[in-house]
Homo-oligomer: A and B are copies of this chain.
């Protein structure tokens, strides 16, 4: 199963004509394995114990390469630093201001409503590439999670 996962990654990379390197595999895995929207620094922290030779600059560059190849997303956060997340289905973000977390909020119904509404508007000279909702809030109890019904 480890090798299966590895296989998926190598396929993804070669589909984008990217050289398959140990660094790229490790960084890609690190971003995929978490839903925590890590910063480059956090990706580096996550991988460095098992891969002490991978440098922070490489992590930055590798992440940037993935963004250019649309394998992951790069999002700005109210905290000021850039955060990365695995590119999956379209989703919105909830910024938790008191813990600096970014949560995903997936809501297909909402996306449809938004699409639908904005399509009726005419934006001249603008080519819209993405529409997402940005919810900002704070955890009432920072040590507990958030659930949505």
Contacts and interface: CB of A to CB of B under 8 A. Distances in A.
Interface of A: 74-80, 82, 94, 96-97, 110, 113-114, 117-118, 121-141, 144-149
Nearest to A144: B125
A125 B97 contact: no
Contact of A94 (B78, B126, B135): B126
B132 A147 contact: no
B133 A148 contact: no
Contacts of A127: 137-140
Contact of A78 (B76, B78, B125, B135): B76
Contact of A132 (B79, B94, B113, B134): B134
A34 to B, nearest CB: 20
B137 A129 contact: yes
A96 B138 CA distance: 28
Contact of A113 (B78, B117, B139, B144): B117
Contacts of A117: 110, 113
B133 A114 contact: yes
Contact of A129 (B82, B97, B129): B97
B140 A126 contact: yes
A115 to B, nearest CB: 11
A60 to B, nearest CB: 12
Given A77-B76, A80-B76, A133-B133, A149 B122 contact: yes
